[in-house]
Protein backbone atom coordinates (compact mmCIF):
# COMPACT_ATOMS: atom_id res chain seq x y z
CA UNK A 1 0.00 0.00 0.00
CA UNK A 2 1.12 3.53 -0.79
CA UNK A 3 -0.31 6.75 0.65
CA UNK A 4 0.13 10.50 0.49
CA UNK A 5 -1.42 13.60 1.99
CA UNK A 6 -2.07 16.96 0.42
CA UNK A 7 -3.81 20.24 1.14
CA UNK A 8 -6.62 21.14 -1.25
CA UNK A 9 -5.71 24.26 -3.22
CA UNK A 10 -8.87 24.46 -5.34
CA UNK A 11 -10.96 27.39 -4.07
CA UNK A 12 -14.12 25.31 -4.40
CA UNK A 13 -12.62 22.29 -2.65
CA UNK A 14 -13.19 18.81 -4.03
CA UNK A 15 -16.58 19.49 -5.51
CA UNK A 16 -18.11 19.17 -8.99
CA UNK A 17 -15.36 19.73 -11.56
CA UNK A 18 -12.30 18.89 -9.37
CA UNK A 19 -14.09 15.76 -8.15
CA UNK A 20 -14.95 14.72 -11.71
CA UNK A 21 -11.35 15.15 -12.87
CA UNK A 22 -9.95 13.28 -9.86
CA UNK A 23 -12.46 10.46 -10.34
CA UNK A 24 -11.63 10.19 -14.04
CA UNK A 25 -7.90 10.09 -13.29
CA UNK A 26 -8.37 7.40 -10.60
CA UNK A 27 -10.29 5.17 -13.01
CA UNK A 28 -7.13 4.85 -15.12
CA UNK A 29 -5.74 2.42 -12.51
CA UNK A 30 -6.77 -1.03 -11.34
CA UNK A 31 -5.74 -0.36 -7.75
CA UNK A 32 -8.23 0.47 -5.02
CA UNK A 33 -7.95 4.19 -4.26
CA UNK A 34 -9.44 5.58 -1.06
CA UNK A 35 -9.53 9.18 0.13
CA UNK A 36 -9.76 10.09 3.83
CA UNK A 37 -11.08 13.37 5.18
CA UNK A 38 -11.08 13.31 8.96
CA UNK A 39 -13.00 10.18 9.98
CA UNK A 40 -14.83 9.96 6.61
CA UNK A 41 -13.57 7.97 3.65
CA UNK A 42 -14.64 7.43 0.06
CA UNK A 43 -13.78 5.44 -3.04
CA UNK A 44 -12.12 7.99 -5.35
CA UNK A 45 -13.57 6.18 -8.39
CA UNK A 46 -17.14 7.00 -7.29
CA UNK A 47 -17.84 10.68 -7.87
CA UNK A 48 -20.87 10.92 -5.58
CA UNK A 49 -18.93 9.37 -2.69
CA UNK A 50 -16.06 11.75 -3.35
CA UNK A 51 -18.28 14.84 -3.39
CA UNK A 52 -20.16 13.68 -0.28
CA UNK A 53 -16.97 14.11 1.77
CA UNK A 54 -17.42 17.88 1.59
CA UNK A 55 -13.71 18.68 1.33
CA UNK A 56 -13.19 22.44 1.32
CA UNK A 57 -10.34 24.76 0.32
CA UNK A 58 -7.18 24.39 2.43
CA UNK A 59 -8.32 21.16 4.10
CA UNK A 60 -5.97 18.18 4.28
CA UNK A 61 -6.84 14.79 2.85
CA UNK A 62 -5.06 11.46 2.65
CA UNK A 63 -5.15 9.11 -0.32
CA UNK A 64 -4.31 5.43 0.01
CA UNK A 65 -3.62 3.23 -3.01
CA UNK A 66 -3.48 -0.55 -2.94
CA UNK A 67 -3.24 -2.94 -5.84
CA UNK A 68 -1.24 -4.27 -8.74
CA UNK A 69 -0.39 -0.87 -10.23
CA UNK A 70 -0.08 1.06 -6.98
CA UNK A 71 3.43 2.35 -7.66
CA UNK A 72 2.44 4.00 -10.94
CA UNK A 73 -0.91 5.18 -9.53
CA UNK A 74 0.84 6.68 -6.49
CA UNK A 75 3.37 8.58 -8.56
CA UNK A 76 0.88 9.92 -11.09
CA UNK A 77 -2.01 10.69 -8.71
CA UNK A 78 0.28 12.40 -6.22
CA UNK A 79 1.62 14.71 -8.92
CA UNK A 80 -1.88 15.27 -10.33
CA UNK A 81 -3.39 16.18 -6.94
CA UNK A 82 -0.60 18.53 -5.97
CA UNK A 83 -0.88 20.39 -9.29
CA UNK A 84 -4.64 20.35 -9.91
CA UNK A 85 -6.71 19.84 -6.77
Cα dihedral sign, 82-58-66-50: negative
| Confidence at 83, pLDDT banded by 50, 70, 90 | confident
Integer Cα distance of 1 and 85 in angstroms: 22
Integer Cα distance of 80 and 18 in angstroms: 11
Which is catalytic among the residues 2, 15, 41, 62? 15
Model pLDDT for residues 40-82, shown as the tens digit of each residue: 999 999 999 999 999 999 999 999 999 999 999 999 999 989 8
Model pLDDT for residues 4-53, shown as the tens digit of each residue: 999 999 888 898 888 999 999 999 999 999 999 999 999 999 999 999 99
pTM of the predicted model as reported, rounded to 2 decimal places: 0.91
Helices (H), the chain: 17-26, 47-52, 70-84
Q: Indicate if 37 belongs to the active site.
A: no
Integer Cα distance of 72 and 5 in angstroms: 17
Amino acid sequence: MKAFEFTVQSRIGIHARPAAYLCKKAKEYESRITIYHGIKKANVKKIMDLMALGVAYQEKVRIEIEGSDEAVAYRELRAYCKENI
